A = this chain, B = another copy of it.
Amino acid sequence: MKDKLIFIGVIGGSEATAPIAKLAEEVGREIARRGAVLVCGGMAGVMKAACKGASREGGLTIGILPGDDRKTANPYVKIPIVTGIGYARNVAVVMTSHAVIAIDGSYGTLTEIGYALQAGIPVIGLDTWSLSINGQAENNIIPAKNAKDAVAKAMALANKK
């Protein structure tokens, strides 16, 4: 039991354009290939695409759901966690992960980036929010070139924790 699993979060909106869904699916596939567990919010869009990718590679997928019905999980979620606490569950998605990969830019993703940065959990960004304050850029979101690069960076940082 002491060979601990690595949990990589994929955070992104419940709607996704075709290119974003493709990107998320590649991220999910890559997470599974590297033997990590995919954690997400369990719903549609980026979350569904990522779960689909991981699932196709035989990976384990966890969906931490906002509502009180496990049937709201996307069909690629293997382990639905039914929280019933609404979007407050965003903090659990982040804290369950050793590192998170943010894809695209929903407002929910913004809350998850905030929670991750606050908790010191590494955030890798793919086509996601850029933040600045008084003209100074926030540098704690680590940019990635593509899905493979994002997962490589997430795994490297997760292993340090």
Q: Chain A residues in contact with chain B, CB under 8 A?
A: 1-2, 5, 37, 55, 62, 64, 68, 70, 75-76, 78-92, 95-96, 104-115, 117-119, 127-134, 138
Question: What's the dominant secondary structure at chain A's contact region?
Answer: mixed
Stoichiometry, copies per complex: 4
List 6 A-B pairs, minimum CB-CB distance, nearest first. A110-B114, A111-B114, A88-B88, A107-B118, A82-B95, A105-B133
Q: Are A119 and B68 in contact (CB under 8 A)?
A: yes
A110 → chain B closest CB, angstroms? 3
Q: List 11 A-B contacts (CB under 8 A).
A: A1-B78, A81-B96, A83-B91, A83-B96, A85-B86, A86-B91, A111-B115, A127-B134, A129-B133, A129-B138, A130-B131
Q: Are A84 and B95 in contact (CB under 8 A)?
A: yes
User: CA separation between A55 and B2, bound complex, in Å?
Assistant: 11
The interface residues of chain B lying within 8 Å CB-to-CB of A70 are 96
